[in-house]
Every structure is written in structure tokens, then in C-alpha cells.
Amino acid sequence: MIPNFVDVETIRPGPKDNPLARELGLVDKYVVLYAGNIGMTQSFDTLLEAAGRLRDAPGVHFLIVGDGVRREHVEAQVRARALDNVTLLPYQPRSRVPDIYATADLGLVPLMAGAATATVPSKLYTIMASARPALVAADAGSALVKTVRDAQCGLAVPPDDADALEAGIRQAYSRQDQFRAFGASGRRYVAAHFSRRAVSAQYHALFEALAAHR
């Protein structure tokens, strides 16, 4: 299997104090980020339940950036639960992507049970390229969880489990130095295994092997 790649030259570690963070008033917050498709395979009800429980931690703020078939549902739940610790943004121009991830202190990949057996969301690679730690909610034994463990880039918890997701976020918030080290480890790993150069080398080796066999 040859994975997708992430552009580690465009997506690089950036400063927390950046134009987007200043615009949103998040420079001094611990930002938990979800960026991407707001669809049927992501466990947004679990995410919002955890956000509601974390209102007792005023330093923690959730930033959701994206769009999709469940966007209206997420907006309605944020209003119904009065989640003033959640900011929703639509998809942003590609030029703003580095600042979106630089604003984050923790990147979320919250999948529903069973979803990780069929996909490895590329947003994990973007989180890693940004040198931010990842909190992945996915099936044990999936390629997604294996990548997190191999890269030592964050924490994996069971899917659809608000208790586990809440505990993971609280752990990241209380152990920020440790999780910053996870972010640095993720950056090193993604550059070595999932950069354009690394993935291109795998294709090159495959083509050479096929040509030699013929």
C-alpha cells in the first residue's frame, strides 16, 4: 500500500499568534480543532457532548472548520446546547490552511465506530505536518490508530465514546509539554513517511520493480 502524501513544504509548523487566531480571539485559548468534512462518518454528537462537559475548563475552546451534509445539524446542536466554547467556520481559502492548524493546540480525528476500517483521513497527516498533537477516536487495530502509535504523535481513544474523548482532551490540556513533544514527533514522522518526496520514492521503486519483472 502506498499512502497519500501531504505537502510538508506548504503545511509547516506555524506560530499560535497568527492573523486567524487574532481574528477569532483564540491566541490565549487552548484550541481543539476539527477541520474537514462535516459528514456521516465523523462522530460530531460525541464531539459536542465532550465540548459541553468541558465548559468547566474556560481555557479550552473548540474550533470546527468545514462543511458537509451534517453542518446544519452541528450548528443546531451548538445553538441548542448553548456551546459558547465552540466556534464554527465554513471552509476557508487554501492560503489560510496553515494558520488554521497553527491556531490549534490539539487536532481531532473523531470517527464513528467502523469508519476507520475503510479509510485513513488525510487530515491526520496535515495535523502531523503542522507539528500539532493528534487525538484520534477510532477503532482499535485500524491503520489510523497504528499510525498514531508508530509516529508517537498523540493519543488514540475508542470511537463514539464521549467519556474517552473528554478524558483525552483533559489529558492533553493538563500535559501540554508532553503533547507538544507528540506534535514534534508527528512532524518528523510525516516528513519521513508521508511527504511528497517519500511517497514519490515508493512509486518510483514500484515502477522499477515492475519494469524489471517484465
Burial class (CB in 10 A: 0-12, 13-18, 19+), 126: buried
Whether the full predicted model's pTM is greater than 0.75, yes or no, is yes
Instruction: Please report, for residues 35, 50, 169, the alpha-carbon distance to residue 60 in angstroms, rounded to integers and kept in the order given.
Output: 17, 11, 9
Q: Which pLDDT score is estimated for 158?
A: 97
Task: State how far the Cα of 75 lies from the Cα of 93, in Å rounded to an integer.
Answer: 21
Return averaged pLDDT per consecutive 10 residues of the chain, 214 residues in all: 90 96 98 96 96 97 97 97 97 95 98 85 93 96 94 97 98 98 98 94 95 86
Task: State how far the Cα of 131 lies from the Cα of 185, in Å rounded to an integer.
Answer: 8
Take residue 89 and report the three cell numbers written for it. Answer: 467556520
Thinking of the domain 19-213, which architecture would CATH place it in?
3-Layer(aba) Sandwich (3.40)
Q: Which pLDDT score is estimated for 20?
A: 97
Is the separation of the CB atoms in 89 and 63 below 8 Å? yes
Instruction: Please report, for residues 52, 54, 99, 110, 168, the alpha-carbon distance to residue 163 in angstroms, rounded to integers and kept in the order given.
Output: 12, 11, 30, 13, 9
Is the separation of the CB atoms in 164 and 138 below 8 Å? no
**Cell 500535559, located at residue:** 175
CA nearest to 85, candidates 57, 62, 56, 59: 62
Q: Which pLDDT score is estimated for 119?
A: 75
Task: State how far the Cα of 207 lies from the Cα of 205, in Å rounded to an integer.
Answer: 6
Q: Which pLDDT score is estimated for 121?
A: 82
